[in-house]
């Protein structure tokens, strides 16, 4: 297949909407439009359960008049609806209060070449449905061939092709295309009253990098059966090792606490800590929107600001917050090209890997918890407090000895950043927020009395 | 006449054409789900009315069954060509059969009447009036105490038009309103910073805020929680008696019981309850219902997203598993009755069994007597949500609570996760209050990536022992 075709239709729609907004009296207007093509198949117990195929188009609009802002969005792209929404937004803007920080970003001379990011894989677009169905089936079949696996929530193969266009009244006009393929399987093991479950997945922008059905199935089986016959442990304070998925989840929480939008609202414990040491010297946190083939990469953000690589935490010191134009103006920092809808979103946000293999980290632990899964929502960005249900493996003398469940772990993100004793070398980019294995000196576990 | 027939000029001939394309390769059933939603929102923060937004969602989802397999296609372009293309995508699941003709006539369905309290519809109200409600909540929160340093108040209203047409000849439409007002407060004292949340709303119009839960009351509640948490200690860690406050704690029932009685998990035998129909799994005090027909409640609907008129379902009767929540697919495969719990996030999603308004019935105990019965324990008052897995392990997160010492509520404590296995916890419910209350009318439940509005309720409940995961 050849290079992606330029699609003038979407660009025309966006540019036309910008012109219409200015004609209606907007001082500034920004219009994002997207075309999305989705395919998904869920296979369960060998049979297709769901087969989904669809294409959709949508548009998002921001209007500024006298430093007052109004938004609109629609999946009905008929000219009548689009024009009605734009006229309405210009009128509604007058109801808001003037805000000196409101407005579109300054025009930037710099631009990122979408082709250099390599986000579009024609092989994903060309892949036929039968192959996708076969790969989902194969993944589940391999997993179920292990006698310890008693049931399956199913395996899925999903592909997505997106085309994003952005135009604004300051003359920005950009577009890029991005593909995605994902394979996952979710399993159960154990007796009816003593079930354990876990899953594994692979997701990439390029087909060649996607894990094979074998790899996904074997990892899902291993992750599930290691939880069989769990015990509940006593309430105590011990070191906790986060597996990469758990580190990624912790980093997702950290991202929210580093968002400029949370800083001006004082909705993060890190507000006011710029330039301070917030973690150990070994901690380096980076947001890189330019990672080639990255799931979180894009040439520009949702305001048309070129994306970039930002070192957020360097040797434990908080260097900047991640901002869109508005949050940047509020807190006196430049935008970092992280605008995402009305808020702030990650590029590829990760903790720089360290020197240790995960095995070394486990071996170094005389007694502790190897955390593999959490349950629940106990994250408080204002205080940094964490409290969640936990599943994991109990470590004694550097070896996993039995699985544990029905416990909770709790701590505080600020204390955790200062308590990370070891960082693993096993960073993998399988999402837009990723981290390697880490070991935290001590956290509170609640279990039996 | 629905908006789809009226504004988009769709009629029986269009429905027949699209259903015909959906069944062009055979299949057992085909269905069209048309949706049009108009959403409007307002945000106030930093003492200014920051922005307003308006959005329109339009589309149709086409579903085809072939045996137990589902094919699905959707589009947001209601032109005949695009709808036929979506129908052909859905038809791909049926590989063998020959074409089945669409129904010759459609019989109108009869949704429940008078369920939505839209005396004063938000979609037609002047934006200035809604801004007034947001300001009222904001100001009440901001001026509650000097410790309140930041406030964020948000408004959202939605009107969702749906039209369901299927190969059995059903044609039914519904217009569902929703309003929601939320307030977040940040309080600061020295280096300590905490937040509080409150909100209200429901499937109603502006009258939802006229009495009872007023905007000012919502603002004050958020502020009060934030200020109280400034003085709060860390929650305890370990196993202890837990008393759940009436109302908000219904989320525990939603997680611990509701999800595991959604029929898809039974059909697939992944729920710990799948083989426990008619068995006793909890104490006599545990009687649980799901009721989509509570007037003006956030989880209610006059007809579900598959066109079924919903019913109140008894899920657990005095500790015995008694009912399941079904959608069309699970009802057909399992040979069970339709309960009207087939719901979907929007036209791009396949419906699955979901809860609506789930609650545990009131019991015989005076709430004061329940507190007085605990020597040393944890009183869980405000919640931020929960999660369950099919094995019955569940958590729910407490944002604010108090210690119970010698039968009295004492020091405020913050942030704890409660964890348990549902059967253990249901058996340990040892007191249930007379004071059944429902939650804030702001809840959303996520399952398989689909979010739907729900509400929960419960009376004051005592659980003999449960693991409390505070920082100690």
Identify the band that residue A22 occupies on the pLDDT scale cut at 50, 70 and 90: very high
| Residue-wise pLDDT tens digits, A166-208 | 999 999 999 999 999 999 999 999 987 788 999 999 999 999 9
Interval A328-354: pLDDT, tens: 999 999 999 999 998 999 999 999 999
* Token pair for B32: 């069209």
Residue identified by tokens 């210009």 is A90
Write out the two tokens for A316. Answer: 């434990």
The 3-state DSSP class for residue A200 equals strand
Residues of B in contact with A446 (CB under 8 A): 237-239, 419, 467-470, 472
How far apart, in Å, do the first and last CA atoms of chain B sit? 60
* B127, burial (CB in 10 Å: exposed 0-12, middle 13-18, buried 19+): middle
What's the mean pLDDT in B235-259?
91
Nearest to B45 among A55, A265, A447 (CB): A265
Least confident of A231-240, A366-375, B80-89, B265-274: B265-274
Distance (Å, whole) CA A396 – CA A113: 51
Burial (0-12, 13-18, 19+ Cβ within 10 Å), B390: buried
Q: Are the CB atoms for B453 and B344 separated by under 8 Å? A: no
User: Cβ contacts (< 8 Å) between A416 and chain B: which residues?
Assistant: none
Looking at per-residue pLDDT, the higher value among B248 and A126 belongs to A126
Contacts 24+ apart (CB under 8 A), A388-393: A388/B395, A388/B397, A388/B417, A388/B469, A389/B387, A389/B393, A389/B394, A389/B395, A389/B417, A389/B419, A389/B469, A390/A445, A391/A227, A391/A230, A393/A226, A393/A369
Could you give the ipTM of this predicted complex? Answer: 0.91
Give me the pLDDT at residue B332, please.
95
* A272: alpha, beta or left? (left if phi > 0; alpha if psi -120 to 50): left
Q: State mean pLDDT over B245-256.
A: 88
pLDDT at B251: 87
Q: Which residues of B touch A235 (CB under 8 A)?
A: 237-239, 472
CA distance B265 to B341: 14
User: Which residues of chain B have a CB within 8 Å of the CB of A96?
Assistant: 48-52
Contact yes or no for B244/B463 (Cβ under 8 A):
yes
> Mean pLDDT in chain B?
94
The average pLDDT across A313-329 equals 98
- Say if A197 is an interface residue toward chain B (CB within 8 Å): yes
**Is A295:A429 a contact under the CB 8 Å cutoff?**
yes
Are the beta carbons of A53 and B92 separated by less than 8 Å?
Answer: yes
Q: Which residue has the tokens 């969640």?
A: A388
Integer Cα distance of B388 and A260 in angstroms: 32
Q: pLDDT tens digits, residue range B388-419?
A: 887 788 888 898 999 999 999 999 998 888 99
pLDDT in tens, B71-100: 999 999 999 999 999 999 999 888 767 889
For the cut 70, the answer to whether the pLDDT of residue A5 exceeds it is no
- Look at residues B224, B130, B157 and name the one whose alpha carbon lies nearest to residue B184: B224
Per-residue H/E/C for chain B:
CCHHHHCCCCCHHHHHHHHHHHCECECCEEEEEEEEEEEEEEEEECCEEEEEEEEEEEEEEEEEEECCEEEEEEECCCCHHHHHHHHHHHHCCCCCCCCCCCCCCCEECCCCCCCCECCCCCCCCCHHHHHHHHHHHHHHHHCCCCCEEEEEEEEEEEEEEEEEEECCCEEEEEEEEEEEEEEEEEEEECCEEEEEEEEEEECECHHHHCCCCCHHHHHHHHHHHHHHHHCCEECCEEEEEEEECCCCCHHHHHHHHHHHHEHHHHHCCCCCCCCCCCCECCCCCCCEEECCCCCCCCCCCCCCCCCCCCCCEEEEECCEECCCECCHHHHHHHCCCCCCCEECCCCCCCCEECCCEEEECCCCECHHHHHHCCCEEEEEEEEEEEEECCCCEEEEEEEEEEEEECCEEEEEEEEEEEEEEHHHHHHCEEEEECCCEECCCCCEEEECCEEEECEEEECCEEEEEEEEECCC
Q: Is residue A6 pLDDT above 70, yes or no?
A: no
**pLDDT on residue A299:** 97
Residue of A54, A380, A449 lying closest to B89 (CB–CB): A54
Instruction: Give percent above pLDDT 90 in chain A.
Output: 93
CB–CB contact A52 B72 (8 Å): yes
Q: Which residues pair with A199 in a beta bridge?
A: A186
Q: In A, which residues are within 8 Å of B279 by CB distance? A: none
Which residue has tokens 């349950």? A375
3-class DSSP state for residue A24? Answer: coil
Per-residue pLDDT at B13 exceeds 70:
yes
Range of B1-5, B284-288, B442-446 with top mean pLDDT: B284-288
How many helices (DSSP H) and strands (DSSP E) are in chain A? Answer: 11, 20
Q: How far is B141 from chain A (nearest CA, A)?
A: 15
Confidence of residue B383 (pLDDT cuts 50, 70, 90): confident
What pLDDT sits at residue A11? 95
CB-CB: which of B195, B240, B393 is closest to A382?
B195
Which chain A residue has the Cα nearest residue B329? A49
Among A49, A96, A384, A387, the residue to mutate for chain B (most B Cβ within 10 A): A387
């Amino acid at each position: 297949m050849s290079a992606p075709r330029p699609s003038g239709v979407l660009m025309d729609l966006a540019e036309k909407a910008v012109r219409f907004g200015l004609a209606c009296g907007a001082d500034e207007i920004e219009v994002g439009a997207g075309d999305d093509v989705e395919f998904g198949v869920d296979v369960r117990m060998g049979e297709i359960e769901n087969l989904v195929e669809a294409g959709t188009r949508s548009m998002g609009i921001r209007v500024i008049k006298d430093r007052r802002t109004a938004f609109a969005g629609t999946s009905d792209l008929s000219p009548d609806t689009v024009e009605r929404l734009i006229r309405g937004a210009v009128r509604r803007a007058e109801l808001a209060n003037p805000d000196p920080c409101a407005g579109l970003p300054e025009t930037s001379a710099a631009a990122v070449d979408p082709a250099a990011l390599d986000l579009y894989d024609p092989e994903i677009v060309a892949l036929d449905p039968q192959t996708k169905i076969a790969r989902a089936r194969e993944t589940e079949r391999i997993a179920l061939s292990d006698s310890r696996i008693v049931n399956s929530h199913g395996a899925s193969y999903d592909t997505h092709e997106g085309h994003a266009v952005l135009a604004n009244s300051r003359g920005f006009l950009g577009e890029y295309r991005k593909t995605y393929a994902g394979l996952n399987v979710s399993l159960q093991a154990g007796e009816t009253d003593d079930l354990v479950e876990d899953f594994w997945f692979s997701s990439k922008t390029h087909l060649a990098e996607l894990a094979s059905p074998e790899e996904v199935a074997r990892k899902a089986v291993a992750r599930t059966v290691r939880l069989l016959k769990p015990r509940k442990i006593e309430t105590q304070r011990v070191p906790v090792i986060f597996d990469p998925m758990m580190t990624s989840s912790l980093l997702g929480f950290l991202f929210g606490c580093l968002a400029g939008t949370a800083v001006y609202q004082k909705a993060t414990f890190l507000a006011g800590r710029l330039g301070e040491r917030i973690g150990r010297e070994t901690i380096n946190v980076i947001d890189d929107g330019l990672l080639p083939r990255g799931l979180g990469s894009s040439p520009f953000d949702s305001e048309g600001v070129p994306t970039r690589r930002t070192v957020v935490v360097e040797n434990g010191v908080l260097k900047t917050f991640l901002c869109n134009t508005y949050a940047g103006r509020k807190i006196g920092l430049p935008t970092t090209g992280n605008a995402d809808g009305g808020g702030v979103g990650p590029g590829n946000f990760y903790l720089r890997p360290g020197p240790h293999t995960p095995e070394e980290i486990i071996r170094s632990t005389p007694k502790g918890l190897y955390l593999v899964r959490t349950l629940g929502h106990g994250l408080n960005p204002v205080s940094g407090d964490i409290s969640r249900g936990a599943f994991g493996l109990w470590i004694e003398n550097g070896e996993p000895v039995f699985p544990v469940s029905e416990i909770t772990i709790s701590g505080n993100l600020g204390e955790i950043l200062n308590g990370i004793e070891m960082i693993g070398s096993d960073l993998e980019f399988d999402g837009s927020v990723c981290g390697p294995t880490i070991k935290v000196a001590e956290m509170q576990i609640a279990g039996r009395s | 006449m629905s908006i789809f027939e009226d504004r988009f000029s769709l009629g029986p001939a269009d429905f027949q054409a699209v259903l015909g394309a959906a069944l062009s390769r055979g299949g057992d059933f085909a269905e069209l789900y048309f949706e049009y939603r108009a959403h409007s929102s307002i945000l106030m923060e930093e003492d200014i009315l920051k922005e307003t937004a308006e959005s329109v969602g339009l589309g149709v989802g086409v579903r085809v069954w072939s045996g137990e397999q589902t094919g699905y296609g959707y589009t947001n372009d209601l032109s005949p060509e695009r709808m036929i293309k979506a129908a052909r995508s859905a038809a791909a699941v049926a590989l063998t059969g020959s074409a089945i003709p669409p129904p010759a006539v459609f019989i109108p369905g009869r949704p429940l009447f008078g369920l939505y309290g839209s005396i004063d519809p938000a979609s037609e109200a002047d934006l200035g009036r809604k801004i007034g409600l947001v300001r009222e909540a904001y100001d009440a929160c901001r001026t509650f105490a000097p410790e309140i340093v930041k406030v964020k108040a948000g408004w959202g209203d939605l009107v969702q038009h749906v039209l369901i047409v299927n190969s059995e000849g059903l044609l039914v439409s519904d217009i569902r309103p929703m309003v929601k007002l939320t307030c977040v407060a940040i309080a600061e004292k020295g280096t300590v910073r905490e937040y509080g949340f409150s909100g209200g709303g429901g499937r109603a119009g502006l009258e939802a805020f006229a009495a009872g839960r007023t905007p000012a009351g919502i603002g004050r509640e958020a502020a009060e929680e934030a200020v109280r948490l400034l003085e709060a200690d860390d929650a305890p860690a370990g196993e202890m008696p837990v008393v759940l406050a009436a109302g908000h704690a219904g989320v525990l029932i939603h997680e611990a019981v509701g999800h595991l009685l959604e029929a898809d998990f039974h059909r697939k035998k992944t729920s710990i309850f799948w083989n426990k129909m008619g068995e006793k799994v909890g104490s006599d005090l545990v009687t649980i219902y799901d009721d989509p027909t509570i007037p003006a409640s956030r989880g209610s609907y006059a007809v579900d997203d598959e066109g079924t008129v919903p019913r109140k379902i008894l899920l657990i009767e005095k500790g015995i598993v008694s009912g399941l929540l079904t959608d069309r697919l699970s009802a057909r495969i399992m040979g069970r009755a339709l309960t009207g719990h087939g719901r979907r996030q929007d036209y791009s999603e396949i419906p699955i069994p979901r809860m609506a308004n789930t609650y545990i019935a009131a019991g015989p105990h005076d709430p004061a007597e329940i507190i007085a019965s605990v020597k040393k324990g944890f009183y869980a008052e405000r919640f931020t949500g929960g999660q369950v897995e099919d094995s019955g392990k569940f958590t729910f997160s407490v944002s604010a609570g108090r210690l119970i010492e010698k039968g009295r509520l004492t020091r405020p404590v913050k942030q704890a996760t409660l964890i348990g296995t549902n059967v253990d916890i249901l058996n340990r419910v040892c007191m249930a209050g007379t004071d059944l209350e429902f939650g804030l009318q702001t809840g959303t439940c996520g399952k398989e990536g689909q979010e739907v509005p729900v509400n929960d309720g419960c009376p004051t409940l005592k659980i003999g022992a449960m693991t409390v995961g505070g920082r100690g």
